[in-house]
Every structure is written in structure tokens, then in C-alpha cells.
Structure 1
Amino acid sequence: MLHAVLKAATEGETTNPLLPAPYDIWWSAVCFVIILFFFWRYALPKMQQMLDERGAAIEGNIEKADEAQRQAEAALEQYTAQLAEARVEAGKIRETAREDGKQIVAEARENASAEATRITVSAQAQIEAERQSAIVSLRSEVGTLALDLASGVIGESLKDDAKASSVVDRFLADLEADQAKAAGAK
């Protein structure tokens, strides 16, 4: 290039060194058109096809994501409904358990009350039987002691059983009547 500048300076022509020669422009334009033709004919359709495939894949993925989102929302709604149903069922079970517990407690109280009443009645019957047994035993012992004491005081033997029994029974009846009057006066 330095030679071209020197040559141009020596010849005295006034050409602009920044502008290329017309033949360079012509051949550059021909090369550009050829490259443009091959690019337009072969490269651009392949790029367009690749972009279309990518666009379709992206749209397919978006549709899949939308479908997955819808399925997730449906599953969430179903899960929420099942959870609400389970909570209602758990509440019913708790309420039933409370009612059963109250019923069991009431039955236990009734059974305990019946058992206590039965035990009380049995104990009273046993006490009454023991009392009657003690009265009979005491009557015979008191009668024997009273006869022995009366025999000692009177100095005679009171061994006649029928007569002795009637005296002892009359004596005890008088004692019980005196006790009944004393209890009634209080």
C-alpha cells in the first residue's frame, strides 16, 4: 500500500486512498450475492426449521407444564376435600367416643350403685342374722345365769325347764319393754 500511495503521489493523480477501486467493489458485490444466495437457499431454511422445532418444543413443554399444573391443582383440591372429610369423620368418631365414654361411666355407676346396694342388703341381712343368733344365745345364757342367781337368792332349785323358761322370757320381755319406753322418751 505504501507503494500505491507513492505511485499515486508521483503520478499526481488525485485519487482518494479511502475509496476502493471499482473492480474491488464489483468482485465484492458478486461474492456477497453468491454468499447471500447460498445463505438464503440453504442456511436460512435450516435455521428456520431449527427455530420452528425449538418453538414447538417450548410450546409442548408449556402445554405439559400447564397440564401438570392443572393436575396438581386437581390433586390439591382432592386432597383438601379428603382432608376436610377426614376431619369431619374424626370429629364424629370423637363425639361417638365421648358418648360411649359417658354411657360406660353411667353404666359403671349404675353397676357400682347396684353392687353397693346388694352388698348393703347382704350386710344388713348378715347383721340381722348375727343379731338374732346373739339374742338367742344371750337369752339362753342370761336365763341360765338368772336361774342360778335366783336359785342362790331363794335357796331353792329352779330346774323346772318350762317354768324357768317362762320366767326368763317374761323377765326379758319386761326388760325390752323398759328399753323401748326409754328409747321412745328420748
Structure 2
Amino acid sequence: MGILIPGLAPTVVCVVTFAVVFVSMAKVLLPRVNKVLDERKDAIEGQVERAEQLTMEAGEVLAGYREELAEARHESAHLRQEALEQGTRLIAEIRTEGLREREVMITEAQARFEADRVIAETELRGDVVSLAIELAGRVLGEPIDSAVTSEIVDRFFSDLDARS
């Protein structure tokens, strides 16, 4: 037999050794490997189930948040509308109050103006009378009696008031 073809004894020893190793692997090592693989499979499936459950819970929480967000948006729109209405109402009230105050100020100003006019008219009448008496005295060349002139001046101003 040659180098490439072994004899019967080494072949039998190799076959028996292979059979012993194969059987020991099949009986001892293979079940342990299968057990570890099954445990890993169960762990992975459990994680997948937990992940699916967490995904569903997250979806429910997200739906809840979206619902709350929609409610908050609705509430904010409602509050904006109320604020707009209240602002419009306040502007109208302030405008009304401003108009009322303006009318009061105008009335007071007119009363003050009328009082100032009466005072100015009285002062001017006195000045006009004194200037008129002085001018008449210069024209005549002698002083004029104030008792006679006051009667004339009173008639003049009453005629003037009647014309106005």
C-alpha cells in the first residue's frame, strides 16, 4: 500500500475515534449548543414582544399627547377670541369715556372762555369810557363831568348790547 492509502488499522482507529468524537459531540455538546441557541431565541423573541408592546404603549401615549395638544390649541384659540372681544369692548369703553371727558373739557373751556370774555369786556368798557372821557375833554378843551358821562356811556353800551 502506498503513502496515500492507509492500512486497515489506522483507518479503523480513525473511524472509531471519529465515531467517539461524533457521538460525544452529538450527545453532550450539541444539546448544550441547542439549549443556548433556544435561550437566545427566546430572549430575542421576548425582546421583540417587549419592543412591540413598548411601541404600542408609545403609540397610545403619542395619541394622548396629540389629543391634549389639539385641546390646548382649541383652548388657546378660544382664549385669543375672548381676549380679542374683551379688547374690543375695552377700546369701546375707553373711547366712550374719552368722548365724555372731551365733552366735559370742552364745556369747562367754553365756560372759562365766556368768563374771560366777560372779564375782558368789563375791563375794556372801563378803559374805553376813561379814554372816551379824556378824548372828549381834549376835544372840548375842558374837563367833562363824570356823572353826566356815566349816564351817556350806560345808554351807549345798552344800545350796543341791544344791537348784538
| TM-score category of the 2 structures, normalised to the smaller one | 0.7 to 0.9
Q: Secondary structure at the match of 2:109?
A: helix
Provide the C-alpha distance between the structure 1 equivalents of 2:162 and 2:2, rounded to a whole number of angstroms.
167
Provide the C-alpha distance between the structure 2 equivalents of 1:3 and 1:29, rounded to a whole number of angstroms.
18
Indicate which of 158, 176, 186 corresponds to 2:145.
Answer: 158
> What is residue 152 of structure 2 aligned with on the other side?
167
Provide the C-alpha distance between the structure 1 equivalents of 2:2 and 2:126, rounded to a whole number of angstroms.
167
Indicate which of 38, 41, 54 corresponds to 1:55.
Answer: 41
Provide the C-alpha distance between the structure 1 equivalents of 2:36 and 2:90, rounded to a whole number of angstroms.
78
Q: In structure 2, give the amino acid aligned to 1:159.
A: S
> What is residue 86 of structure 1 aligned with on the other side?
72
Residue 177, structure 1, aligned to residue 159, structure 2: no
Q: In structure 2, give the amino acid aligned to 1:165.
A: S
| 1:144 to partner: Cα distance | 2.9
> What is residue 37 of structure 1 aligned with on the other side?
23
Pairing 1:107-118 to 2, within 5 Å after superposition: 107-118=93-104
Residue 121, structure 1, aligned to residue 128, structure 2: no
Higher relative contact order (CA 8 A, sep 6+): 1
| 1:35 to partner: Cα distance | 3.5
| 1:171 to partner: Cα distance | 1.0
| 1:28 to partner: Cα distance | 5.9
Provide the C-alpha distance between the structure 2 equivalents of 1:84 and 1:3, rounded to a whole number of angstroms.
87
Q: In structure 2, give the amino acid aligned to 1:169.
A: D
Provide the C-alpha distance between the structure 1 equivalents of 2:106 and 2:15, rounded to a whole number of angstroms.
128
Give 5+ residue unaligned stretches, structure 1.
5-16, 181-186
CA displacement 1:16-52 (0-9 Å, x = unmatched): x8xx887777666644543443233212211221121
Paired residues of 1:146 and 1:168 also in contact (CA < 8 A): no
- TM-score, normalization by structure 2: 0.78
Indicate which of 131, 134, 140 corresponds to 2:117.
Answer: 131
Distance 1:3 1:26, change over 3 A: closer
Give 5+ residue unaligned stretches, structure 2.
none
Q: Secondary structure at the match of 1:157?
A: coil
**Identical residues among aligned pairs (%):** 34
